[in-house]
Structure 1
């Protein structure tokens, strides 16, 4: 059998197509669940800054600088048109 068209053998291409067939209907659902989980995590991380008591703020305070890049995207997705913080200039 000549596989000059692809570097993968026929069996691996068949398995990849089968895998795509079974996972395609759930891709959007899994992406939505991952986004919801990220939204909850961002809320937990910035809750103390938003005025919501957070018992884990001692641990999440260290992570805020790492996720500050994603903060603008998150607060616009949550319906806040402008940044709720005075000390962060994302908008």
Structure 2
């Protein structure tokens, strides 16, 4: 959320309570967003690693794999930890 990022960027110069009131957001929502920052960063890094594997498989199969076949290829790939949902592959 852009508003939460704005509050986070300016919290050293202005009160968080005042900015949240002016922007019309709840302070608890801001603090919950801020607490989830590490999890979002980890998910972005995992997505970036998965995109690299998707590109490698896509190149290997001459750009002919769709998300369903790509999901099956990733399930057989030892470099990909765990399972990957077809919706995540389609999104990436």
| Greater relative CO (CA pairs within 8 A, separation 6+) | 2
The answer to which structure has the higher helix fraction is 2
Check whether TM > 0.5.
Answer: no
- The TM-score bracket by the shorter chain reads 0.3 to 0.5
Compute the TM-score of the two structures, normalised by the length of structure 2: 0.36
Larger CA Rg, structure 1 vs 2: 1
